[in-house]
Amino acid sequence: MRPRDSGGDFGGTHTRLALASPRGNAWSLSRFREFPTGGDAGALVRRFLKDTAEPGPERAAFCGAGPVAKDGSIRLTNAEVTLDPAALAAAAGLQQVILVNDFAAIGHAVPRLPPEALRHCGGGAATPGAAKVIIGPGTGLGVSIVMPVTGGWFVIEGDGGHADLAPVDEGQLDAWRRLRATHGRVAAETVLSGPGLERLYAALSPDERRTAVQIAADAWLGEERAARVVQMFTRWLGSVAGNLALTAGARGGVFIAGGIVPRWAERFDVALFRAAFEDKAPYAPWLRAIPSFIVTYPQPGLLGLSALAGASPHESLR
């Protein structure tokens, strides 16, 4: 990758832009800036590059929290923003740019993360060269699968966060019914996201409204209703992650990214998560062996975009 490559991660809440330079077999991010997501995406890119007061990039890759349309654009699922590759290329002063889903970008980063950027949270050791799953609650719920191919990896980007969410016990069934009555179809993202945490709290405590930050803070202080919501969220996350591991055959591990769980850090109830993850008889022993990790690298999406910007659009990770 050339020293003046750039990347941009357009999330449902924040947009993160950076320049990147090669450093051995790794990448170094510089000139990092964060903006609120909204408005004209190209204008943010032009403003960022102007503020750096340096020569423009030679290549650029961007990602957005939404599906890639047939024309290559992305309309963010949780923000009124459309990312158009031609407009982003013009803003960056380039003929073309790479544009992928945000969790595809994280998928490209995961095989490159150093061990110290991963917190092991249950299971055995990863099988080298085996499939990996990435899941991440944030403004929405992102999912991607990283599959081994000859000489590298292939990232499957999809919208697994919008798959149906199933209750597995009476408590979840009661919450699920309340959510369905209020919100209609219940997808995984309906619960497993920041807004989802708030929806779940409202479903269990109809007389009260709290933000996701308040719910987590109250749970850590031992407030009963908030703690119950965080526990249900954690168990549901484990169930969905286990389903993905079964679907992908993810012996290479399940990696939890996004804006929620990495911030919970040591407060994340690993035992509760793993119990739900493994509770899939007769495959409990098989799932018990699969490791799970919390991604602690601060900007994995930008790391993945750096890798994409430094390769041809169709080149696998090496």
**Residue 1 predicted with pLDDT over 50:** no
pLDDT in tens, 126-172: 999 999 999 999 999 999 999 999 988 999 988 899 999 999 999 99
User: How open is the CA angle 214-258-264, to the nearest 5 degrees?
Assistant: 45
**Predicted pLDDT at 317:** 34
**Predicted pLDDT at 274:** 98
- Measure Cα distances from 152 to 86, 132, 146, 148, 310 in Å: 29, 13, 10, 6, 15
Of the listed ranges 90-94, 180-184, 246-250, 253-257, the one predicted with least confidence: 90-94
**Residue 175 predicted with pLDDT over 60:** yes
**Predicted pLDDT at 23:** 59
**Phi, psi of 95, deg, nearest 5:** -75, -35
Tokens of 143: 């999912």
**Residue 185 predicted with pLDDT over 80:** yes
**Predicted pLDDT at 172:** 97
- Tell me the average pLDDT across 306-313: 67
Handedness of CA 239, 240, 246, 252 (dihedral sign): negative
What are the sequence ranges of the domains in the chain?
Answer: 5-110+299-309, 117-295
- Measure Cα distances from 93 to 9, 90, 117, 182, 275 in Å: 18, 5, 33, 46, 50
117-295 CATH pick, 2.20.25.90, 2.40.50.180, 3.40.367.20, 3.40.50.300: 3.40.367.20
pLDDT band at 71 (very low <50, low <70, confident <90, very high): very high
Higher pLDDT among residues 299 and 186, named by residue:
186
Same fold, 5-110+299-309 and 117-295: no
**Residue 11 predicted with pLDDT over 90:** no
Q: Which fold has domain 5-110+299-309?
A: Nucleotidyltransferase; domain 5 (3.30.420)
**Predicted pLDDT at 286:** 97
Do 241 and 253 meet the contact criterion of CB atoms below 8 Å apart?
Answer: no
The neighbour count for residue 129, using CB atoms within 10 Å, is 9
pLDDT band at 178 (very low <50, low <70, confident <90, very high): very high
**Residue 5 predicted with pLDDT over 90:** no
pLDDT in tens, 264-284: 988 999 999 999 999 999 999
In angstroms, the CA 252 to CA 248 distance is: 10
